[in-house]
A and B are shown apart, each in its own frame.
Chain A
Amino acid sequence: MGAKAKEKPKLAMYWAASCGGCEISVLNIHEHILAVDEIFDIAFFPCIADFKTKDVESYPDGYIDVCLFNGAIRTSENEEMAHLLRKKSKVLVAYGSCAYEGCIPALSNLTTKEATFDKVYINNPSIDNPDGIFPQEVTKVPEGELTLPTFYNTVKSLDQVVDVDYYLPGCPPEPPQIWAVLQVVVGGLLEGKPLPPAGAIVGAGATAVCEECEREKKEKTIERFYRPYQIIPDPDQCLLEQGLMCMGLATRSGCGALCPTVGIGCRGCYGPPEGVIDQGAKMLSAVASVLDAGDETMEDEELELKIQEVIDTIPDPAGTFYRFSMAHSILRRVKNGKGDS
């Protein structure tokens, strides 16, 4: 793309098991995209530019200065690309929630490959598959042989298959954050400014989403949880205080509290805040601490029962508290005795 001046830093962007929203998020820096084109040479970017895996294979190791890798590791092909791009890139960024922590595709770790194939190809209201055919890694057709990559049982984050230098959270990352990170990277590459330490989370804040949410917060005392369609929430008050599940307490700031601003609870797409490893565990303890389940006169046992009653009004806690972070969590996947991949 653009004028090919020599010695510009090389940028790559790749998608594994993803939706394409990360690529769109880069396009959504709008007019700045022209500056990106000015500053970088694109070395690999299947979404918009003309390079092939073969080109990447031919590059010397470390040829790519910055690789923005998005998407989770769902198939053998995703993993092969992760290894290739790690080898060829100086700086590998886990870009977006899928690469960082598994995101929505990793909800698949609550089920199995067998159940997935059964639902998609057999037990489905519109299926026409009387012979019970499943896609195969190798198929003999009259004219020859056709192959497909392996569909793994467990979805992994990028850092579970290769070393990652930086993490850029969000589903997808917000454009102002993307542009800010690109400027830091450019400062490092072109002006010798210091880059963030390896393993850093970039393009996000260090506190929680609640810190940037303008809703009015009082003492939190929750008696029960409501589904979003069961009440019409007050437009200005904290959603969690009104009994609507909102993950703001357990989610890293950086998005500007977009979802709560339009009256919808946060689901945690920026991952856990600084210093927190397991987002779901953090949310569970946060919820437990704000429940209005009893008072100090109660016996421990009674109090626990009360707390459990309120917690029971939360539907699907695992799929909610780990909505975006399943692969990266302590939980990682629901055990099924089928091994890890």
Chain B
Amino acid sequence: MERITIDPITRLEGHGKIEIFLDKKGNVENAYLQIPELRGFEQFSIGRPAEEMPRITNRICGVCPEAHHMAATKALDALFDVEPSSVVKKLRELFYSSFYVTDHTVHFYALGGPDFVLGPDSDPAERNILGVIHKVGVDIGKQVIECRKRNHEVIKILGGRGIHPVAGLPGGWSKAMTKEEQKTILGWAKENVDFALFSLKLFDDVVLANQAYVDLIVGGIFSHETYYMGTVDDNNHVNFYDGLIRVTGPDGKELVKYPAKDYAKHIAERVEPWSYLKFPYLKDVGWNGFVDGKDSGVYCCTPLSRLNASDGMATPKAQEHYEKFFETLGSKKEGKRYTPVHHRLATHWARLVELLYAAERMLELTEDPEITDPNVRQVVTNTPTEGVGSVEAPRGTLTHHYKTDENGILTDVNLIVGTTNNNAPIAMSIKKAAENLIKDGKVTEGLLNTVEMAFRNYDPCMSCATHSLPGQMPLEIQIKDADGNLVDTRSQYVD
């Protein structure tokens, strides 16, 4: 049996390793996505004071520390059974929206976008953020840097630090917004809206205007019919900060909608001996292996999933683009909802629709007269017991679950992080891409690019789960014969 090892950043670094086994005819027998890392936050957080969790768990991921900070802070609200005031909720959501703007911007321009802006067949050496700048002008590179800069400044002003913020408290937020800060942030929020609109226009001009790219998006290689998860507000609109968790089926119908505290009734995690990362699935459906379809509990949790699981966007411009997204990709409107888009590459477009929503929402919140109310802290006297908090991290629904003794010292911790939700779907996408490109022992030239794209649309930053953040993902495929001898090597991004 032939064996192909794809090591995204090579064997030793192992922030994710793919093993593909071929059958005797040289077709794909099976593919494994292995995650070779674990840090064990769930165990070493036990014994710590619960209120420290927003500043301990943000160290799970330095790319999205804001998401862990917020899920932990909301878990503390639940743990202490304390309701944050209206201004606290607004400040937190404003902070979180600004984080979404910078996070989605980085993914689109530095990680995912180059595939489209430069084209999947372009010179790999140019297929990066610098290549994007070369093609569409240095001004865009500066805009991306400016966008990151102003939003990290917002994160620092409101959260205390540009990375690993500290302001979250049970029922509160340690830092109020001054009128001066409001004025500054208002200007930045407007720039964010313009930048998001500009990014969607760029996607229009470069991707949608090119039939070859559209064909690639809707082509079957990158398509999977699974369940979709996302947090929605009272109107079933996408929400990043708060709401109910909604799961819809491959046919678009709602399977279940539940509050975060019920997560363990609906989600279970499998363990495989060959990966440190667990595989969550929907208990309401059951685990039937790494397969598509209505009878498979595999679900996906990405920007595409959130759009699929919702009825729309809560801001006007994002709603326009939401409709255009589904209509362009051939969805039908059934009642209030569009049928789901199963093309995984459309996730990049969905991410830009969310970027616009985050920017619009940030602007709304900054303009809110209540936002500068200084009463952001409250004294909490309730005895803590147990609490669950969740937010939509950019890479999926993020759940923190704490139990404590009566002094608020943690006795049990469970975390289901964004990327972990997508562990099974990513493995499936890799297998499908491999099956399409490895036929009768022949490895098609496009294998490397295609496997990489299959991976990347999930935002293969994978930092929460593996803390591997690929800009360019150097790939090498080693093809070995049945005795383990190397018979061929194909690689890209290697000088």
Q: Are A316 and B161 in contact (CB under 8 A)?
A: no
CB contact between B59 and one of A30, A54, A171 (< 8 Å): that residue: A171
CB contact between A141 and one of B32, B40, B130, B494 (< 8 Å): that residue: B32
Closest to B275 in A: A135
A203 at the interface (CB under 8 A from B): no
B3 at the interface (CB under 8 A from A): yes
Q: Are A148 and B34 in contact (CB under 8 A)?
A: yes
CB distance from A14 to the nearest CB of B (A): 8
CB distance from B269 to the nearest CB of A (A): 5
Of residues 17 through 33 on chain B, the ones whose CB sits less than 8 Å from some CB of chain A are: 19, 21, 29-30, 32
Report B-chain residues with C-beta under 8 Å of the C-beta of A33: 145
Of residues 130 through 156 on chain A, the ones whose CB sits less than 8 Å from some CB of chain B are: 133-136, 139, 141-144, 146, 148-149, 151
Of residues 34 through 86 on chain B, the ones whose CB sits less than 8 Å from some CB of chain A are: 34, 36-40, 42-49, 51-52, 55-56, 59-63, 65, 80
CB contact between A55 and one of B55, B412, B461, B494 (< 8 Å): that residue: B494
Q: Are A149 and B14 in contact (CB under 8 A)?
A: yes
Q: Are A315 and B46 in contact (CB under 8 A)?
A: no
Stretch among A108-116, A158-166, A189-197, A281-289 lining the B interface: A108-116
How far, in angstroms, from A149 to B11 measured CA to CA in the complex?
A: 10
CB contact between A53 and one of B10, B19, B63 (< 8 Å): that residue: B10
Report B-chain residues with C-beta under 8 Å of the C-beta of A20: 61-63, 461, 463, 467-469
Supposing A120-B38, A141-B274 touch, asked if A55 and B495 sit within 8 A by C-beta, the answer is yes
Supposing A2-B130, A49-B471, A133-B273 touch, asked if A116 and B44 sit within 8 A by C-beta, the answer is yes
How far, in angstroms, from A80 to B270 measured CA to CA in the complex?
A: 30
- Give a binary string over A162-204; 1 marks a CB under 8 Å from any B CB, 0 the rest: 0000000001100100000000000000000000000000000
CB contact between A135 and one of B162, B264, B273 (< 8 Å): that residue: B273
Q: Are A229 and B380 in contact (CB under 8 A)?
A: yes
B306 at the interface (CB under 8 A from A): no
Report B-chain residues with C-beta under 8 Å of the C-beta of A311: none
Report A-chain residues with C-beta under 8 Å of the C-beta of B171: 229
Closest to B403 in A: A125
Report A-chain residues with C-beta under 8 Å of the C-beta of B271: 121, 127, 129, 133-135
Interface residues contributed by chain B, number (CB under 8 Å) = 106
Q: Are B160 and A139 in contact (CB under 8 A)?
A: no
CB contact between A15 and one of B34, B164, B467 (< 8 Å): that residue: B467
A243 at the interface (CB under 8 A from B): no
How far, in angstroms, from A133 to B278 measured CA to CA in the complex?
A: 11
CB distance from A118 to the nearest CB of B (A): 8
Which of B13, B29, B467 counts the most chain A CB atoms within 10 A? B13
Q: Pick 11 A–B contacts, CB within 8 A, sort by A.
A: A20-B62, A20-B469, A28-B152, A52-B494, A120-B43, A124-B42, A125-B414, A175-B162, A261-B160, A262-B167, A315-B408
Residues of B within 8 A of A (CB): 1, 3, 9-15, 19, 21, 29-30, 32, 34, 36-40, 42-49, 51-52, 55-56, 59-63, 65, 80, 110, 124-125, 128, 130, 142, 145, 148-149, 152, 156, 159-164, 166-167, 169-172, 174-175, 263-264, 267-276, 278, 280-281, 287, 377-381, 401, 407-409, 412-414, 416, 461, 463, 467-472, 474, 476, 493-495
